Amino acid sequence: AQSVTQLDSHVSVSEGTPVLLRCNYSSSYSPSLFWYVQHPNKGLQLLLKYTSAATLVKGINGFEAEFKKSETSFHLTKPSAHMSDAAEYFCVVSAPAGNKLTFGGGTRVLVKP
Amino acid sequence: NAGVMQNPRHLVRRRGQEARLRCSPMKGHSHVYWYRQLPEEGLKFMVYLQKENIIDESGMPKERFSAEFPKEGPSILRIQQVVRGDSAAYFCASSPPGQGAGSQPQHFGDGTRLSIL
């Protein structure tokens, strides 16, 4: 069994300041972890994935995430927020050889000018 | 290379009618997944199909919902006798053949927004 908890339902940042989106997971095996972004009325776009290689994963648009097994966390960060980063972000887990994705509840990011 | 195509983008049905949602996977992808997103929630897995086979339908409601992915043509998610609670966004994703989501990430369509009057 696996589950994902996103600790903040909403995050508000000013443009140009860092963004931190927190995610904790629960899994009975070494999971694959993903971050997806969803812009309004659109599908989901993959930002990055972790699959047991390097624990610091770099993604698109300047985002990165660090896998910490001891803390069962996979937090997403970006050094400097842009207005176009306003969207909903989902932390997602799957079994390594599995195909079913389990989603967190999402974090809605607001970027203030 | 076109992405995952879903149609219609918006679908309105009255209670008791049938809803048919279509999904064409990306070229070269033979695995299709359906997810449902209720308002203010994350996506919930419904069903995983390969051509002509249902691999995992553990997230599908036992009644009124069915899915298929025929040898030719798009995947279809069918909801019979719709009720208000079926109102949601339904997303399709696809991936190429391979060992799991870790090696073959899923690519999502823009979804079908289903509204039940």
CA torsion angle B105 A66 A44 A113 (round to 10): -160
CA–CA separation, A63 and B56 (whole Å):
32
3-state secondary structure of A80: coil
**Closest to A52 measured CA to CA, from B107, B103, B92, B7:** B103
pLDDT tens per residue, range B53-83:
999 999 999 999 999 999 999 999 999 999 9
Beta bridge pairs of residue A13: A111
CA–CA separation, B41 and B28 (whole Å):
31
Q: What is the pLDDT of residue B101?
A: 62
What are the contacts of B60-67 at 24+ separation with CB within 8 A?
B67/B34
Q: How far is A11 from chain B (nearest CA, A)?
A: 15
Beta strand spans in A7-106 (E): 10-14, 19-21, 23-27, 32-38, 44-50, 56-58, 64-68, 73-78, 87-94, 102-103
Comparing B1 with B57, which gets the higher pLDDT?
B57
CA–CA separation, B49 and B66 (whole Å):
11
Output the CA torsion sign for B91, B97, B99, B102.
Answer: negative
Query: Which residue from A minimizes the CA distance to B109?
Result: A43
Produce one character per residue of B38-51: b if its CB has 16 or more CB atoms within 10 Å, e if not: eeeebbebbbbbee
> Does the pLDDT value for residue B49 go beyond 90?
yes
Residue pointed to by tokens 């993903």:
A34
**Contact across the interface for A95 and B4, Cβ inside 8 Å:** no
Q: Number of helices (H) and strands (E), helices first, in chain B?
A: 1, 11
Q: How confident is the model at residue A100 (pLDDT cuts 50, 70, 90)?
A: confident
**Contact across the interface for B42 and A105, Cβ inside 8 Å:** yes
Q: What is the pLDDT of residue B100?
A: 67
Mean pLDDT within A14-42: 91
Q: Which residues of B touch A (CB under 8 A)?
A: 4, 6, 31, 33, 35, 41-45, 48, 55-56, 58-59, 91, 93, 95, 99-103, 105-111, 113
CA–CA separation, B98 and B86 (whole Å):
32
pLDDT tens per residue, range A29-81:
778 899 999 998 788 999 999 887 788 999 999 999 999 999 999 999 999 99
